[in-house]
Structure 1
Amino acid sequence: MKTVTIIGFNGALASAITGVIDLFRMAGVTWARVHGEPPQPYFRTRLLTETGEACRCINGLSIGADGSWRDVAAVDSNDLVIIPTIGAPIDQVLADNPKLLTWLSQFRSVNDDQVRIASNCTGAFLLAEAGVLNGRQATTHWGFSNQFRQRFPEVDLQPDRLVTVDGHVACAGGGMAWWDLGVYLVERHAGAQVARELAKAFVIDAGRSSQAPYSALQARRYHSDADILKVQEWLDTHYSDPVTLSSLASLSGLTERSLIRRFKAATGDSPTGYLQVLRIESARQHLENSRLTVEEVTRLVGYEDVSSFSRLFRKHTGLSPGAYRARFGR
């Protein structure tokens, strides 16, 4: 039976601790009980903190620990370690846990394809600060992706992905993605059938693969290039107008080549890519809050061809315009 170790710390998100424990404890149990069969548990769980005392979560709840991670001197090949979501200010939690970062650094030297350590949401900041994610693909909550990229440029961040797996490290995206992470890890360690039964018993949609439908436009204005800021401000109010690269270059006072280079350096995107994001974000708001048809929304945000717009919308959000409205429309 595999041991799942959840690392507790002050300021963690309580549901990302208790929910994960529930999932692993009930794998092979809930489905069997529903069908009147003998339960067959596959995992044991434990919550470890630095001192072995309870951790106080961001919602004010204190959760009792089963021991201290300081007593676990080496990585046990039969263990699966999970870092829950950081609910408190991220910089504060990183600064308050230097010994935990040192303990986590032991996972930098693991070299196999069996998932041994995983993080949920902003818990990825702890793994990255400990150097565990260097040179690896990872994901975190889409709202903190810019902060993550700035702090950890050596990590290959995939903010649209709901779950990433790179070697022995797995990461999940937004706050409640521990559902998806838990079901995935159950499948890896107990088999696909157990994972399917667990998802059905907990009524979890196990088919999600992207957090793009939930994300919002990132401002991308943490730079100090005044010429590029001027272009961004103009695009904010003229995104639905016909826009050419030459007109943006004239507005900025730069050559087209210099505009592309400096825009990419400042925002991480090309002027065309940035314009697409503005238009898609506006379309999302119309689909959520209005009864305009998809054709009307298409023209309203600056496109003429509905098919091309729908393909672009799916590329950015992972859903067709109709499916997006069905899920998020009011």
Structure 2
Amino acid sequence: MKTVTIIGFTGALASAITGVIDLFRMAGVTWARVHGEPPHPLFRTRLLTESGDVCRCINGLTIGADGSWLEQASPGEDDLLIIPTIGAPIEQVLADNPGLVNWLRQFKNAGGDQVRVASNCTGAFLLAEAGILDGRQATTHWGFSNQFRQRFPAVDLQPEKLVTVDGHVACAGGGMAWWDLGIYLVERHAGAQVARELAKAFVIDAGRSSQAPYSALQARRYHSDAEILKLQDWLDAHYHHTVSLEHLAQLSGLTERSLIRRFKAATGDTPTGYLQVLRIEAARQHLENSRIAIEAVTRLVGYEDVSSFSRLFRKHTGLAPGAYRSRFGR
């Protein structure tokens, strides 16, 4: 029977701990009970904290621990280590847990293709702090992607992805993505049939692959380039108008080549790409809060061709405009 170890720390998100424990403990159990068959547990779980005392979660709940990670031998090759979501201020948790970060470094070069260490949501910050994600693909909560990129430039962050797997390391995106991570890990360690049965028993849609539909525009204003900030202010107010690179260069007092270089250095995107993001975000707001026809939404955000707009919208959100409205419209 494989062991799944969850690491507890002050400020962790309780549901990301208890939910993962429930999923693994009920693999091979719930489906059998539903069908009146003998249960066959496939995983044992344990929650470890630094002291072996309770884990004090961000919502005020305390969860009893099964021991201290300081006193545990390294997990076996078939075992799993999972870092749950950081619910408290991220920088504070990283500063308060240097011992945990140092302990996690043993997993940096574990090797092999079997996933041995995983994180949910902002738990990826702890893996990255330990150097485990250097040179690897990873994901985290979309809302903290800019902060993650600034602190860990050596990580190939893929914030649009719901789950990433790179060698022996897996990461899940924001919030409840531990569902998707858990089902994936059950499949890798216990087989596709067990994973499908578990997803059905827990009524989980196991087909999700992107967190892009849930994300919102990242301001990209953490830079100090005054000219580019002024240009961003202008784009925020005029995104729905016809905008050319030539006009933007005139407004900024830069050549087109210098504008592209400066804008990319400041925001991580080109002026055209940034304008597209502004328009898509405006379209999302219309689709969520109104019943305006998609053709009218297209024109309101600065496009004329509905087909081109729909392709662009799907590229950024993973959903067609109509499907997005069906899921998120009020």
Q: Does 1:23 align with 2:23?
A: yes
Q: Distance in 1 between matches of 2:34 and 2:73?
A: 40
The Cα offsets for residues 38-60 of structure 1, whole Å up to 9 and x where unpaired, read as 11111000000111100100000
- Assess if the C-alpha contact under 8 Å between 1:249 and 1:256 holds in 2: yes
* Partner of residue 112, structure 2: 112
1:23-172 alignment to 2 at 5 Å? 23-172=23-172
Secondary structure, in 3 states, of the residue corresponding to 2:119?
A: strand
Q: Distance in 2 between matches of 1:65 and 1:73?
A: 16
The Cα offsets for residues 77-97 of structure 1, whole Å up to 9 and x where unpaired, read as 131000000000001100111
The Cα offsets for residues 10-48 of structure 1, whole Å up to 9 and x where unpaired, read as 100000000000000001110110111111111000000
Secondary structure, in 3 states, of the residue corresponding to 1:109?
A: coil
Secondary structure, in 3 states, of the residue corresponding to 1:6?
A: strand
- Assess if the C-alpha contact under 8 Å between 1:183 and 1:195 holds in 2: yes
2:16 partner amino acid = A
* Partner of residue 284, structure 1: 284
Q: Distance in 1 between matches of 2:27 and 2:240?
A: 50
| Superposition TM-score, scaled by structure 1 size | 0.99
Q: Does 1:233 align with 2:208?
A: no
Secondary structure, in 3 states, of the residue corresponding to 2:171?
A: strand
Secondary structure, in 3 states, of the residue corresponding to 2:123?
A: helix
Give the deviation of 1:214 after TM superposition: 0.2
* Partner of residue 213, structure 2: 213
Give the deviation of 1:109 after TM superposition: 1.5
Q: Does 1:193 align with 2:193?
A: yes
Secondary structure, in 3 states, of the residue corresponding to 2:41?
A: coil
1:48 partner amino acid = L
The Cα offsets for residues 298-319 of structure 1, whole Å up to 9 and x where unpaired, read as 0110000000000000000000
Aligned length: 330
Q: CA RMSD in A?
A: 0.6
Q: Distance in 2 between matches of 1:126 and 1:150?
A: 15
1:172-191 alignment to 2 at 5 Å? 172-191=172-191
The Cα offsets for residues 260-282 of structure 1, whole Å up to 9 and x where unpaired, read as 00000000000000000000000
- Assess if the C-alpha contact under 8 Å between 1:231 and 1:252 holds in 2: yes
* Partner of residue 273, structure 1: 273
Q: Distance in 2 between matches of 1:296 and 1:10?
A: 49
Secondary structure, in 3 states, of the residue corresponding to 1:176?
A: helix
Q: Distance in 2 between matches of 1:75 and 1:197?
A: 27
1:277 partner amino acid = V
For structure 2, the 5+ residue unaligned runs are none
- Assess if the C-alpha contact under 8 Å between 1:217 and 1:278 holds in 2: yes
- Assess if the C-alpha contact under 8 Å between 1:75 and 1:106 holds in 2: no
| Superposition TM-score, scaled by structure 2 size | 0.99
Q: Distance in 2 between matches of 1:109 and 1:327?
A: 41
For structure 1, the 5+ residue unaligned runs are none
* Partner of residue 313, structure 1: 313
Give the deviation of 1:76 after TM superposition: 2.0
Q: Distance in 2 between matches of 1:178 and 1:75?
A: 21
Give the deviation of 1:75 after TM superposition: 3.8
Give the deviation of 1:74 after TM superposition: 2.5
Secondary structure, in 3 states, of the residue corresponding to 1:65?
A: coil
- Assess if the C-alpha contact under 8 Å between 1:7 and 1:48 holds in 2: yes
1:80 partner amino acid = L
1:95 partner amino acid = A
Secondary structure, in 3 states, of the residue corresponding to 2:282?
A: helix
The Cα offsets for residues 217-257 of structure 1, whole Å up to 9 and x where unpaired, read as 00000000011111100000100000000000000000000
Give the deviation of 1:175 after TM superposition: 1.3
